[in-house]
Chain A
Amino acid sequence: NAGVTQTPKFQVLKTGQSMTLQCAQDMNHEYMSWYRQDPGMGLRLIHYSVGAGITDQGEVPNGYNVSRSTTEDFPLRLLSAAPSQTSVYFCASSDRTGTYEQYFGPGTRLTVT
């Protein structure tokens, strides 16, 4: 299993540009989520999904959209990038059995100039 994969690893955007951060998992997990981490801070939840076709907002959803058309993929779209969205973005997935352990991807480092 590849686990949770994220692309790209690094991205630089200009203010106002849009882009999609990709996240995929091959563990057939129902639950997926997106977090952002600013320097010196803990992770903050942006959006999450408890299954295909179901998404909901987390703590800091403004400026981001998500969709979940398949179990495997959970892309995060930045609609109009702003410097305040400069951050490291982590995707995570979990099943609903056992430890409910969340598996995190390696992150995407985004800079908005």
Chain B
Amino acid sequence: DAKTTQPPSMDCAEGRAANLPCNHSTISGNEYVYWYRQIHSQGPQYIIHGLKNNETNEMASLIITEDRKSSTLILPHATLRDTAVYYCIVRVGWGTGSQGNLIFGKGTKLSVKP
């Protein structure tokens, strides 16, 4: 089972910041938080990941609480093309065997509206 909890859906106005929450209260010390998104029926796309520090790249920012039990993905200026299902996944960094696997939950369906 997925180790994360996300709201099933969210709306965001175009041009505003989209803040997508994720709870991962049972996260272990060696587990990273990964975010992927799936636009329509395409294959999922990697967005960002982090361990305990906040991270930013050209797509998004990831804010992880100090206790690491929750995180927030921020899309700073959402566009209509950001409408997608967003998946929050916890996973160890690379190890052996099944540790590389991604366990997907149902994610959050983000609808960006004009």
The chain A residues found within 8 Å of chain B, CB to CB, are: 4, 31, 33, 35, 40-45, 48, 50, 56, 58-59, 88, 90, 92, 94, 96-97, 99-107, 109
Contacts and interface: CB of A to CB of B under 8 A. Distances in A.
Given A99-B49, A107-B43, A43 B98 contact: no
Counting chain B residues whose Cβ lies within 8 A of the other chain, the interface size class is 20 to 34
B92 to A, nearest CB: 10
Interface stretch (B18-26, B65-73, B104-112): B104-112
Q: What is the predominant secondary structure among interface residues of chain B facing chain A?
A: loop
Contacts of B97: 50, 56
B7 interface: no
A42 B2 contact: yes
A71 B103 CA distance: 23
B47 to A, nearest CB: 10
B100 interface: yes
A106 B100 contact: no
B106 A41 contact: yes
Interface in B66-93: 87, 93
Contacts of A101: 46, 49
Nearest to B98: A56
B30 interface: no
B45 interface: yes
B41 A107 contact: yes
